[in-house]
A and B are shown apart, each in its own frame.
Chain A
Amino acid sequence: MLAYKFDWSVLWRQPYGEWLLSGIWLTIQLGLLAWVIALFLGIFLGTLRSSHWPWLKFLGSLYVEVFRNVPFLVQLFFWFYAGPMLFGKELQFKINAISGLNYYVAIIGLGLYTASRVAEHVRAGFASIGQGQFQAALSTGMTHLQMYWYVIIPYALRVIVPPLTTEFLTIFKNSSVAMTIGVAETTFVSYKIDNETFHGLEATTGAMLVYLVLGFCVVKLMGIVETKVRIPGLVSR
């Protein structure tokens, strides 16, 4: 074993302490903003996958299969490097000139990726609803759209809160991949501290604690949500 002198002060000493705080703030931002995209798109895609029209079903499945079977790192690089090129030469330069482009790409990329996972849970939620619910909604004179919007989606969402908690945790973990396109979130900062001080061990250990605390907060928060939206008499714990 090498003689290694631990220097834990890299976690709070200036400027590193300030870097770490801003990194944590960025991690929270990435997670929350991407979660908004993932939730809305995921619910939409999950609904597509459960619909009766084969074409819509196919579109939903195609999206989910593509986004689930390509590593998130590859997706992120594709959006960041190839994304602007997809808009043609003129727009490409304008997009590349946007300041903080990596930040926006990270949020959108993370949202698109997580949406495919949310969609799977939404579909499973739909599948768990008895046929009687669909028939009852239609028999009251609702259209298909109304049935989904007023009855099925609210019902399914309440059923799938527990698996969505897992996804919400995962989105914060996955936000660390944004470091590869230069977003200065927690993991990026711990790596940068290593570059400056050669105390990467302490920096990454500190970052691990940050993720653990963040995960703990998410579990506590979602625990409150779970008890609030629980359907009485359906889910017993």
Chain B
Amino acid sequence: MFDAVQRNLPFLLAGFLMNLQLAACALAGGIFLGMLVGLGRISKRRWIYGPVTAYVNVLRNIPLILVIFWFYFVMPILVGKTLHPFVSAAISFIVFEATYFGEIFRAGYQSISRDLVAAAYSTGLTYWQTARYIMIPIAFRRMLPSMITQSIITFQDTSLAYVIGLQEMVRRTTIVDSMEVRSIELYGFVAVMFFVFCFAGSRVSRYFEEKSRKANIL
């Protein structure tokens, strides 16, 4: 029954690898930029806080597909030549996901109570020691579950690079399906592949959440 999938397995899996690569780029860039965005969102300087907040609020209210298209159209004008769909998609993902990671970082930072910091200072810790041994470890453990969840969403979103013709798994499946006309098996296979990865990820996220809850950190 699954012979159509079997025949095209290497072709399809190469596409899935591209989803993974795109997600890796999006996460590396998105988390780094998100860290800066998170810092900007808690800044007391208005000229930093204002633009960063506007950036976050605008991007979060626009569909990702549109952002992918927008960068696909704007990059040739800025750079002067057409970029590879992968590069164009990676840039749009980094800019888009950074707003979501930025909000996670902001929430993590704001979850640290003033009393905790004051207590750390009163034991004689310096500012950097407080950050290194108290604030960062606690904020990190609080943020970890939502970071993993957002990473799963990012991974699912990579399928949208389909729209600018990137040869990722969904695009490759449509190509195979147009020849084989075995839609149930082919699209079912894509769904199962994504499901296995994302479900495993959601379990990991839940594990860390439970762990933090038991340690009374949340």
Contacts and interface: CB of A to CB of B under 8 A. Distances in A.
Interface of A: 1-2, 4, 65-66, 68-75, 77-78, 81-82, 85-86, 169, 173-177, 179-180, 187, 190-191, 194, 200-201, 204-205, 207-208, 211-212, 215
Contact of A78 (B64, B65, B76, B187): B187
Interface of B: 58, 61-66, 69-70, 72-74, 76-78, 80, 152, 156-157, 159-160, 162-163, 170, 173-174, 177, 183-184, 186-188, 190-191, 194-195, 198-199, 202
Contact of B62 (A72, A75, A208): A208
Contacts of A73: 159-160, 162, 170
Contact of B194 (A65, A71, A207): A71
Contacts of A82: 183-184, 186-188
Contact of B63 (A2, A4, A187): A187
A4 B73 CA distance: 11
A69 B69 contact: no
A2 B61 contact: no
A1 B65 contact: no
Nearest to B201: A69
Contacts of B198: 68-70
B170 A70 contact: no
Per CB-CB distance, the 3 closest pairs between chain A and chain B, nearest first, are A176-B63, A82-B183, A69-B198
B73 A85 contact: no
Contact of A74 (B65, B77, B170): B170
Given A69-B202, A176-B63, 11 more contacts: A4-B77, A70-B195, A74-B170, A82-B188, A173-B61, A175-B63, A179-B65, A191-B163, A194-B73, A204-B70, A212-B58
